[in-house]
Structure 1
Amino acid sequence: MTAEEFTVAQTPRSKPAETSVPLHPLLAERWSPRALDPAVTLTDAQFTALFEAARWAPSWGNTQPARYVAGRRGEETFERIHATLSRGNAGWTSTAAALAIGVTRVVDDEGEPMPYGEYGLGLATENLVLQAVAEGLVAHQMAGFDRDAARTAFDIPAEYEPMVAIAIGGLGEVDGMPDRLRQKELAPRSRRPLSELVFRDTWGSPRFP
């Protein structure tokens, strides 16, 4: 389907990745919509499962550097997270079922830099996102938030660094979204080809065609 055809369609209920070989549906179906359904809420079990999945991510030496501040829509924590988001992200995240801020530990117990802390948070957050997909939900990760405001709002200690904001919810409709965001929702997904990403023998020599 072309971009032009997408613009006249309804919100796509699925945008599976176009892959060179089949992938597990959790991976192929994962995408980052902004159109979220204001009627969707998370059960206690669903909400807990997101962070249980994050807890069981691998980390360097089992240091488990990932931490989260999280709230469901209607809770004060949700509103305080929402207040830290950039103007562009605040405009569409009020209908999320939950918001979270991912935080990584940057200093260990000896006061030394924590090895691979950001990497550990990335692994944990991807687990969280894939658990959301498994629950029939969607998740959108955001760099657009005020780290200092988040630190102040939640008394985050100096040895931890806020890194990412995450919106979780049910897929909604694009009707009523600003045109700029609507076009992003309806556009086909794309990635660089494997030939540009994986090499053999020498740098830049494609491992896969």
Structure 2
Amino acid sequence: MQPTEEQPTKLADTEYPIHELLQKRWSPRVFSEKPIDDDILTQLFEAARWAPSSYNEQPWRFIVARKEDQEAYSKLASVMNEFNEGWAKGAPVLVLALTKTTFDLDGRENPHAAHDLGQAIAHLTFEATRHDLYVHQMAGISPERAKNIYDLPENITPKTMFAIGHKGNPESLDEKLQQQETSPRKRKKLDNIVFDGEWKNN
């Protein structure tokens, strides 16, 4: 069965009101074959460009592959581990996210680069949600393979990958992934992550 985008959105069941884009955002593992308009895709990276960063270094870098460019797409897909490659290759766009680990100003190590990359991807993700697109981020990649494939400089570090696309049909997944795709979203309670004035062990 071909994936479709006619699937209900898994809205977050929040304890307190939050913006609808935050409530709507989630990470599906199945995408439709519908391509993403180039202008919309550019807007996503424009949103990432305007994320905050330490000393305004903007240490994020992205390698993007569209499915219609099969050579570039297969090359980037090979950076994922086997599990992620199994489902993510259905997405119309794959992205490798990297950090520049040294400051432009003086060449010192930038210890905040990964944090800043995360902020840039968050900006991109919420801009994607605004356009009814979905982003699934993946830690399961081979940084060494990426370094070799793309001949990366020493101060450029592959960190994560993500897939972008329209929602697809969960019935195209195996039974275990279907259950994950359709089950309610869960989060820890605020009391487990926010502490008033002192540390608490949970």
TM-score (norm 1): 0.88
For residues 89 and 50 of structure 2, the distance between their equivalents in structure 1, rounded to whole angstroms, comes to 29
Is 1:41 matched up with 2:55?
no
Kindly provide the CA deviation profile for residues 146-187 of structure 1, in whole angstroms up to 9, marking residues without a partner as x: 111111222221101100100000100011311221111011
Q: Would you say the 8 A contact 1:37–1:172 is kept in 2?
A: yes
Partner residue of 1:74? 68
Determine helix, strand or coil for the equivalent of 2:199: strand
Partner residue of 1:175? 171
Is 1:137 matched up with 2:161?
no
Superposition RMSD in Å: 1.6
Partner residue of 1:157? 153
For residues 76 and 124 of structure 2, the distance between their equivalents in structure 1, rounded to whole angstroms, comes to 18
Partner residue of 1:146? 142
Question: What 5-or-longer segments of structure 2 have no aligned partner?
Answer: 1-5
Change (3 A) 1:12 1:194: farther
Q: Would you say the 8 A contact 2:94–2:162 is kept in 1?
A: yes
Q: Would you say the 8 A contact 2:7–2:168 is kept in 1?
A: no
For residues 172 and 187 of structure 2, the distance between their equivalents in structure 1, rounded to whole angstroms, comes to 28
Partner residue of 2:113? 117
Q: Would you say the 8 A contact 1:50–1:129 is kept in 2?
A: yes
Between the two proteins, what is the percent identity of the paired residues?
35
Tell me which amino acid in the other structure corresponds to 2:50. Answer: W
Kindly provide the CA deviation profile for residues 40-91 of structure 1, in whole angstroms up to 9, marking residues without a partner as x: 1011101111111111100011010000000111213222111111110111
TM-score (norm 2): 0.91
Q: What aligned pairs does 1:80-95 form with structure 2 within 5 A after superposition?
A: 80-95=75-90
Determine helix, strand or coil for the equivalent of 2:172: coil
Partner residue of 2:100? 105
Q: CA deviation at 1:130?
A: 0.9
Q: CA deviation at 1:122?
A: 0.4
Kindly provide the CA deviation profile for residues 84-104 of structure 1, in whole angstroms up to 9, marking residues without a partner as x: 111101111121010001001
Q: Would you say the 8 A contact 1:66–1:117 is kept in 2?
A: yes
Q: Which moved more, 1:175-184 or 1:54-63?
A: 175-184
Q: Which moved more, 1:111-120 or 1:136-145?
A: 111-120
Partner residue of 1:4? none
Determine helix, strand or coil for the equivalent of 1:204: coil
Tell me which amino acid in the other structure corresponds to 1:140. Answer: H
Q: Would you say the 8 A contact 1:54–1:128 is kept in 2?
A: yes
After the TM superposition, which parts of structure 1 deviate over 4 Å for at least 4 consecutive aligned residues? none
- Equivalent pairs counted in the alignment come to 195
Partner residue of 1:16? 11
Q: CA deviation at 1:31?
A: 0.4
Is 1:59 matched up with 2:25?
no
Partner residue of 1:192? 188
